[in-house]
Amino acid sequence: MSSKGSELKIMARMAIKRLSSGFWQEEKLRRKTTLTILKSQGADTGAAKKFLVDHTKQQLAAVINPAEEIEYNRIKSIFMAGNGETALASLMDRELMKTMDDGARQRYIFGLSSKLQEYRERYEKEQQFNCQTMSM
């Protein structure tokens, strides 16, 4: 069997597990509760709905690619400590960079910068909506 076929089987098993564990019912309740709180506070519920959908996608992606989620959580802890200026340096693999020519190194740093920007945006959205819903 091809690796794509086995990956598909794994993803199907994970989907069945989510259905049988009540994941979607809990997710629906969490979204409804969060939106109710945000609406009562006068927050932009349109932006909150998008954030909640993105959050669910990230939860599902974390199951598929746990290394990415581990990396995000490491960077998140740097942001939480107020050391955001060191986040890019913590993503860099210095040994790998030594093996690259200038062009490859620039592409590598640009890619890391893009990833760091995604992480920063995700972190800021989480903080925005977590602060507003702490009264849950």
Token reading at 19: 């259905």
Report the domain count for the chain. Answer: 1
pTM of the model: 0.68
Q: How far apart are CA 42 and CA 133, in angstroms?
A: 12
For the segment 21-61, what is each residue's pLDDT rounded down to a tens digit?
Answer: 888 888 888 888 888 888 888 877 888 888 888 888 888 88
For the segment 51-90, what is each residue's pLDDT rounded down to a tens digit?
Answer: 888 888 888 888 788 888 899 999 999 999 998 888 999 8
User: 49 lies in which domain range?
Assistant: 3-132
Angle in degrees, 0-180, between the axes of helices 102-132 and 66-80, rounded to the nearest 10: 70
